[in-house]
């Protein structure tokens, strides 16, 4: 295949941000884009020349290209005309199949990490390019956009839009571009707490009037049709079995969803998009092979006045408590405090294999959605900016105290803290700020020292934002910023840590350098504190290789059993 950018593209393509290989079979042929694999210099280029990539999970992925295949004559070509400072992706045919919509990520002055970052649509824009190479931008400036989806009749294009920089995952708005004589208008449910997730590739109803979208209410995941005179929740409110509903696709009005709960593994259900005011008749394709006798409930947490955020008062948050129904020969159940990373993500009331495994072993698990988690609105997310290491730590501790107060069967003398990334950051903070409360900790790729992480992370913008500082590409570290980052970090409390710590680190982590965990390891070793480190040289930030996941769970379970 020809390539105008002097690079070779292979089929070993990461799917997390630009997609592995996207193709749409329309009358004009196939449309797809390659997200460059290993960069191969041309003979006249210096092999030692540094080539930027897009960070965590996208190492050696640099410049994608949109390609068009003519099925009639069997040729493939790179679509010319994409601006040179733009990396294209998420392409789809425009009406008439003589032009293409795509999202363009601006990669100047340099690239920042894309994975898990909805604001990294960078600055990104929605473009339209015809087959002759004429390209125009359709969205505004200084925005981050993604997920263009065209209605079946070609009359309406929708896409997600958010702010640039700031929280790297936040509430997104649903935008529309009208073509032909579309009458579609936007309406959202009254309890709407924000859109945070990507749109399914096929999300439109057959009449081109209603896309179906995922949204959150507190710790529950639901979905709704939004382009109707009055929007409606399409989840089955009569069924108490499922805490999470996730839309996978809509095909000719047939919706396919994945449903689960903390005690019910995922199962597929289908139903047709209803007319306005009607309910969906859901059918389960296959009942779960098994359910588990765990008790679970969502806890709403109320803050005392002295823990309120002065700029964003009155915010609520919650947690999901999962317990074995019958403690294994014990009068009180040890509690594992499970903290999500992000920090702008959440623990929905859905199946989680780690939680289920721990509950099966006799542990209660408290999955905390502190302020700053998704599902509680944009003000909740913004409240955490500049408050990491304090507000989020207090929120987790407040959730623990709430659970202990409401459930006398939980053992307050046997508390553990586990989490990854920002969850590991908070777990280690809890050990240092509440050293008498926690007996043991297990942390995966934790942030330990935000100041030393500044120069090694692929999302340097978030390192400034999380500490309360404005970011710009030409930012130079100051003593004030570095001091603030250090003060907000778990390493500042390392000397007070008493509990045994298990660290699990990925050698290829581009988001949080494994040297972060090594820093805590050495601090604890030097003080004779019990610490164990597991090193996974081929893993990145998510520690997602199957054998690694098994290794991490088994070691975590044994570590908890040994020290609780």
Q: What is the pLDDT of residues 364-375, one digit of tens each?
A: 999 999 999 998
pLDDT at 528: 96
Place of tokens 């196939």: 30
Instruction: Between 512 and 275, name the one with better pLDDT.
Output: 512
Between 267 and 184, name the one with better pLDDT.
Answer: 267
Q: Each residue of 67-82: pLDDT tens digit?
A: 999 899 999 999 999 9
Higher per-residue pLDDT: 351 or 3:
351
**Pairing mode, strands 410-420 and 364-369:** unpaired
And the tokens for 30? 């196939």
**Which among 231, 421, 513, 529 is annotated as catalytic?**
421
**pLDDT higher for 24 or 519?**
519
% of the chain exceeding 70 in pLDDT: 83
pLDDT of residue 28: 41
Is 509 one of the catalytic residues? yes
Q: Tokens standing for 200?
A: 């399914």
Q: Which of 233-247, 275-289, 387-401 has the lowest mean pLDDT?
A: 233-247
Q: Which residues pair with 176 in a beta bridge?
A: 158
Closest by CA position to 160, among listed 137, 185, 177: 177
Which residues make beta-bridge pairs with 535? 505
Determine which one of 139, 232, 541, 542 is catalytic: 541
Q: Answer yes or no: is pLDDT of 183 > 70.
A: no
pLDDT of residue 63: 87
Residue with tokens 């081109």: 208
* Dihedral (CA of 94, 202, 350, 545) sign: negative
- Give the model's confidence band at 529: pLDDT under 50 very low, under 70 low, under 90 confident, else very high: very high
Cβ(368)–Cβ(337) below 8 Å = yes
Q: What is residue 225's predicted lDDT score, i.e. its pLDDT?
A: 54
Task: Please tell me the predicted confidence (pLDDT) of residue 15.
Answer: 30
For residue 2, the model assigns a pLDDT of 31
Q: What is the DSSP string of 19-35?
A: -S---EEETTEEEEEE-
Q: What is the mean pLDDT of residues 19-36?
A: 47
pLDDT at position 44 is 64
Confidence of residue 186 (pLDDT cuts 50, 70, 90): very low
Q: What is the pLDDT of residues 405-436, one digit of tens each?
A: 999 999 999 999 999 999 999 999 999 999 99
Query: Would you call the peptide bond into 109 cis, given omega within 30 degrees of 0 as the criterion?
Result: yes
The pLDDT value recorded for residue 231 is 47
Of 237 and 264, the one with more pLDDT: 264
Instruction: Tell me which of 509, 513, 529, 539 is the catalytic residue.
Output: 509
Given a cut of 90, whether residue 118 has pLDDT beyond it is no
pLDDT exceeds 80 at position 9: no
Provide the pLDDT for residue 218.
Answer: 64
CB atoms within 10 A of CB 81: 15
Residue 433: CB atoms within 10 A of its CB come to: 20
**Which two tokens mark 347?**
């623990």
> Does residue 359 register a pLDDT over 80?
yes
**3-class SS at 431?**
helix
Say what the pLDDT of residue 173 is.
86
66, pLDDT greater than 60:
yes
Distance (Å, rounded) from C-alpha 36 to C-alpha 8?
7
What confidence tier does 163 reach under pLDDT thresholds 50, 70, 90?
confident
- Evaluate whether 350 touches 197 at the Cβ level (below 8 Å): no
Average pLDDT over residues 249-267: 94
Peptide bond into 343 cis (omega under 30): yes
| pLDDT of 185 strictly over 60 | no
Give the predicted TM-score (pTM) of the model.
0.89
When mean pLDDT is compared across 8-17, 100-109, 132-141, 261-270, the lowest value belongs to 8-17
3-class secondary structure per residue, 341-386: CCCCCCCCCCCCHHHHHHHHCCCEEEEEECCCCCCCCHHHHHHCCC
How many angstroms separate the CA atoms of 39 and 28, rounded?
30
Tell me the average pLDDT across 325-354.
89
Confidence of residue 239 (pLDDT cuts 50, 70, 90): low
pLDDT at 351 over 90: yes
User: Model confidence over 37-58: pLDDT tens digits?
Assistant: 444 455 566 788 999 999 999 9
Give the total residue count for the chain: 564
Query: pLDDT at residue 459 above 80?
Result: yes
Rg (CA), the chain: 24
The band of 229, judged by pLDDT with boundaries at 50, 70 and 90, is: very low
**Does the pLDDT of residue 394 top 70, yes or no?**
yes
């Amino acid at each position: 295949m020809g390539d105008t950018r002097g690079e070779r593209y292979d089929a070993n393509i990461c799917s997390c941000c630009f997609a592995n290989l996207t193709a749409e079979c329309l009358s004009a042929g196939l449309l797809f884009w390659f997200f460059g694999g290993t960069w191969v210099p041309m003979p006249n280029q210096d092999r030692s020349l540094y080539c930027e990539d897009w960070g965590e999970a996208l190492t050696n992925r640099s410049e994608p290209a949109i390609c068009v295949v003519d099925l009639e004559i069997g040729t493939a070509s790179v679509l010319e005309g994409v601006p040179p400072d733009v990396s294209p992706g998420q392409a789809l045919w425009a009406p008439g199949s003589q032009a293409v919509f795509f999202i363009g990520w601006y990669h100047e002055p340099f690239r920042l990490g894309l994975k898990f970052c909805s604001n990294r649509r960078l600055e990104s824009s929605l473009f339209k390019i015809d087959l002759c190479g004429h390209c125009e931008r359709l969205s505004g400036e200084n925005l981050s956009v993604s997920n263009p989806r065209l209605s079946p009749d070609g009359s309406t294009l929708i896409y997600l839009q958010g702010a640039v920089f700031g929280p790297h995952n936040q509430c997104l708005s649903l935008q529309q571009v009208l073509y032909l004589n579309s009458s579609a208008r936007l309406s959202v449910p009254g309890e709407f707490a924000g859109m945070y997730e990507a749109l399914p590739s096929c999300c439109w109803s057959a009449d081109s009037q209603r896309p179906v979208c995922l949204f959150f209410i507190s710790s529950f995941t639901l979905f709704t049709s939004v382009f109707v005179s009055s929007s409606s929740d399409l989840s089955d409110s009569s069924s108490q079995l499922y805490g999470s509903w996730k839309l996978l696709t809509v095909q000719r009005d047939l919706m396919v969803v994945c449903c689960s709960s903390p005690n019910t593994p995922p199962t597929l259900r289908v139903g047709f998009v209803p007319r306005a005011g009607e309910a969906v008749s859901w059918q389960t394709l296959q009942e779960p092979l098994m359910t588990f006798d765990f008790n679970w409930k969502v806890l709403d947490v109320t803050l005392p006045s002295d823990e309120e955020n002065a700029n964003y008062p009155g915010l609520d948050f919650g947690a999901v408590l999962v317990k074995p129904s019958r403690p294994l020969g014990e009068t009180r159940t040890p509690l594992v405090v499970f903290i999500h990373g992000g920090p702008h993500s959440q623990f929905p009331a859905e199946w989680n294999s780690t939680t289920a495994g721990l509950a099966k072993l006799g542990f209660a698990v408290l999955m905390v959605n502190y302020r700053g988690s998704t599902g509680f609105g944009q003000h909740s997310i913004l409240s955490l900016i500049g408050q990491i290491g304090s507000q989020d730590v207090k929120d987790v501790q407040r959730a623990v105290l709430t659970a202990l107060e409401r459930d006398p069967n939980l053992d307050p003398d046997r508390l553990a803290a586990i989490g990854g990334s920002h969850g590991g950051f908070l777990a280690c903070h809890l050990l240092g700020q509440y050293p008498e409360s926690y007996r043991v900790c297990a942390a995966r790729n934790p942030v330990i020292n935000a100041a030393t992480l500044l120069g090694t992370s692929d999302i340097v913008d978030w390192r400034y934002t999380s500490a309360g500082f404005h970011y710009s590409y030409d930012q130079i570290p100051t003593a004030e910023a570095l001091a603030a980052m250090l003060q907000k970090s778990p390493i500042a409390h390392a000397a007070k840590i008493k509990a045994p710590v298990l660290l699990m680190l990925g050698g290829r982590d581009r988001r949080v350098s494994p040297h972060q965990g090594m820093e805590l390891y050495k601090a604890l070793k030097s003080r004779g504190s019990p610490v164990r480190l597991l090193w996974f040289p081929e893993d990145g930030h998510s520690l997602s290789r199957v054998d690694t996941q098994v290794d991490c769970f088994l070691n975590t379970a044994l570590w908890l059993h040994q020290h609780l």
